[in-house]
Amino acid sequence: MSRTVDALIRQGFATREIEVDDARARRVSLTPEGKASLAAAAACDVEVLRERLARLAPCMRRAITAAVPALEAMATDDVTGH
């Protein structure tokens, strides 16, 4: 993990600071460049998914749409589905 963080810092995508309450701990934050890069990657992922969904048969798209509430419940740990 530290090698990955070191690489992000070298590339200007993140910063590392000593934690105020615990000098042994470090806080890693994205720089504005890191946030922009992450947003661009996420937008690319969304576009790839959009293209793949468009190629699916309508019945498969409906099945995915029907599954969205269950997927959202899983992502938020809302086992009641509310």
pLDDT tens-digit readout, 1-27:
889 999 999 999 999 999 888 888 999
pLDDT at 82: 62
On whether the CB atoms of residues 17 and 23 are closer than 8 A, the answer is no
- Look at residue 68 and tell me whether its pLDDT is greater than 70: yes
Q: 81's torsion region: left (phi>0), alpha (psi -120 to 50) or beta?
A: left
What is the pTM assigned to this prediction? 0.58
Confidence of residue 49 (pLDDT cuts 50, 70, 90): very high
Domains for the chain: give ranges and CATH numbers: 2-76 (1.10.10.10)
Region 63-69: what's the mean pLDDT? Answer: 95
